[in-house]
Structure 1
Amino acid sequence: MTPLLTQPPLRALLVDDEPLARARMRSLLAQCKDPQVTVVAEAGSSSQARAWLRDNACDLLLLDVQMPGDDGLTLAATLRALPVRPWVVFVTAHPQHALQAFDLEALDYLTKPVRLERLQAALVRVAQRQREREALGQVQPEVALPQEDEEVVPIVERGRLVRVPLAEVLYFKAELKYLTVRTATARHTLEGSLNDWEQRLAGRFLRIHRNALVAKAAVRELDRHAPSDEAHGDSGPMPLDALGDGWAVRVALVNEWLAVSRRQVAAVREALRVGA
């Protein structure tokens, strides 16, 4: 593999309304040697960044989310109009915007305070994508690089980005102010609204209860019982005869039982019938 040092330094535009945050990022970038980064400009707002980008080019935007005026998400959405769209890495103190960021095809989402190793990992990914773009000799990254078919759920855990393939998600379950994202091998915690995910995943996931959204392919059985809270714990699935009255579905791979509200019983039955 060709070493990243053979590439010219990545040209970066820093966009953050806080001068101290931009200064810290400059300091961190100076410590990154593989790949190297040259800060070609700074902007304290989205409008300043847009004005600079009208007459200049860069490879990378290190972009804050919450700023006066248009936020960073709005700025990122306008980049498609550029002849060559720069790669975007969001740098923010607000992890709850990660889903929107990846909808805008951001390459990474770093939470403040940014650790050097996380920044380094993000830059390596940018450099790899930049090499691919240059090797294909295309101007538009949308044309040069096919988008990944596999959808992911971006989750920020302890400052680390975890990209969970949507195909691996068995269910989303609301727990207080957070969502549990369950796969066959792990549980992840995600900030967000179950209603938002229901709209986004309509057709593939089924709302079975006010607090649960289950992959249709993961629904294995419907029975006239409903799990108690203990049935959702890490101690393992509760036996069906230990559950109370009501309706529940058994989730494939993990064999956990989730409560079904009465109004959703018919929809679950239909999902089982169609999937049979």
Structure 2
Amino acid sequence: MNEQPLRVSICEDDAAQAQFLARQVHAFASGARVETFARAEDMLLARGEMADILLLDIQMPGMDGVELARELRARGNRAQIIFVTGFADSMQAGYDVEAVHYLLKPVKPEKLLEVLARARERLEAGARMATLRVEGEWARLRVQDVLYAEARGHYAHIFLIDGRELRVKMALGDLADALGAGFFRCQRSFLVNMRRVVRVSATHLALEGGREIPLARGMRDAAVRAFAGCN
């Protein structure tokens, strides 16, 4: 991320608001490449390079920001999404697109800069790769594609967001070291990617896609701290 300029696309039908957001992006990263669109449909039709971060207004004529985000995700776009809205009751819409944050208008510059920093951290974390020996062959795995891993005998079974399951002959503790920060040992047999957790209860961790991983007794406070540190 440090070698190439940050690429940000803004979709906002209010021209003054779009200009304000663009200025703040440049204040955050002076060399950033910023594109602005007044309509969701225009962003979908754009043929430029794919952005790293998307700033999307939720309320727009025609296709709204949530619909736009869902369509982009369906097309394989994995940019970090920040929603901007004038209505507090819209701030839970589009949870399924993994938005970084929801900003309420009028947007405070310091809050926007904080959220942009969080989005950039996610980009850097998402670019991490782990090299593992899978079924006798060396393979490079994108760390953020991991949902969780489960220890079974002498093997660790790694479950990915696309539904695949990989088997590696290594202890869960060694796998945790290979995958790096952001993973939590919620009990002896499970290692969870906390960036893929949507809810922490007293007894389990709820992951994207509906899977629930049991949480060892007495581990809830540690799980909450790990969850807060990744969001």
TM over 0.5: yes
How much has 1:8 moved relative to structure 2? Answer: 3.2
Matched, 1:117 2:110: yes
Q: CA-to-partner distance for each residue in 1:229-260, whole Å, 9 max, x for gaps?
A: xxxxxxxxxxxxxxxxxxxxxxxxxxxxxxxx
Quick one: which amino acid aligns to residue 16 of structure 2?
L
Quick one: which amino acid aligns to residue 110 of structure 1?
L
How much has 1:90 moved relative to structure 2? Answer: 0.6
Partner of 1:47: 41
Quick one: which amino acid aligns to residue 78 of structure 2?
R
What CA distance in whole angstroms lies between the structure 2 residues aligned with 1:68 and 1:139?
A: 41
Range with greater deviation from structure 2 (130-139 or 107-116): 130-139
What CA distance in whole angstroms lies between the structure 2 residues aligned with 1:141 and 1:70?
A: 33
How much has 1:16 moved relative to structure 2? Answer: 0.4
Q: Secondary structure at the match of 1:117?
A: helix
How many residue pairs match? The answer is 149
| Aligned-residue identity in percent | 27
Matched, 1:72 2:119: no
How much has 1:30 moved relative to structure 2? Answer: 2.5
Q: Secondary structure at the match of 2:92?
A: helix
Q: Secondary structure at the match of 2:32?
A: strand
How much has 1:102 moved relative to structure 2? Answer: 2.5
What CA distance in whole angstroms lies between the structure 1 residues aligned with 2:13 and 2:64?
A: 10
Q: CA-to-partner distance for each residue in 1:44-82, whole Å, 9 max, x for gaps?
A: 111001011x55311011000010101001001112233
What CA distance in whole angstroms lies between the structure 1 residues aligned with 2:72 and 2:143?
A: 11
Matched, 1:150 2:144: no
1:132-151 matches, cutoff 5 A: 132-136=125-129, 143=145, 148=195, 150-151=197-198
Q: TM-score if structure 2 supplies the norm length?
A: 0.55
How much has 1:40 moved relative to structure 2? Answer: 3.0
Q: Secondary structure at the match of 1:80?
A: helix
Q: 1:82 to 1:37 in 2, by over 3 A?
A: farther
Q: Is the 8 A contact 1:29 1:37 kept in 2?
A: no
Q: Is the 8 A contact 2:59 2:65 kept in 1?
A: yes
Q: Is the 8 A contact 2:66 2:93 kept in 1?
A: yes
RMSD: 3.1
Partner of 1:234: none
What CA distance in whole angstroms lies between the structure 1 residues aligned with 2:141 and 2:65?
A: 24
Q: Secondary structure at the match of 1:67?
A: coil
Bigger CA radius of gyration: 1
Q: Secondary structure at the match of 1:126?
A: helix
Q: TM-score if structure 1 supplies the norm length?
A: 0.47
Q: 1:82 to 1:40 in 2, by over 3 A?
A: farther
What CA distance in whole angstroms lies between the structure 2 residues aligned with 1:118 and 1:51?
A: 30
1:193-212 matches, cutoff 5 A: none
Q: 1:60 to 1:149 in 2, by over 3 A?
A: closer
What CA distance in whole angstroms lies between the structure 1 residues aligned with 2:65 and 2:142?
A: 22
Partner of 2:82: 89
Q: Which runs of 5+ in 2 are unaligned?
A: 131-139, 148-192, 203-231
How much has 1:136 moved relative to structure 2? Answer: 2.4
1:149-188 matches, cutoff 5 A: 150-152=197-199, 167=201
Quick one: which amino acid aligns to residue 151 of structure 1?
V
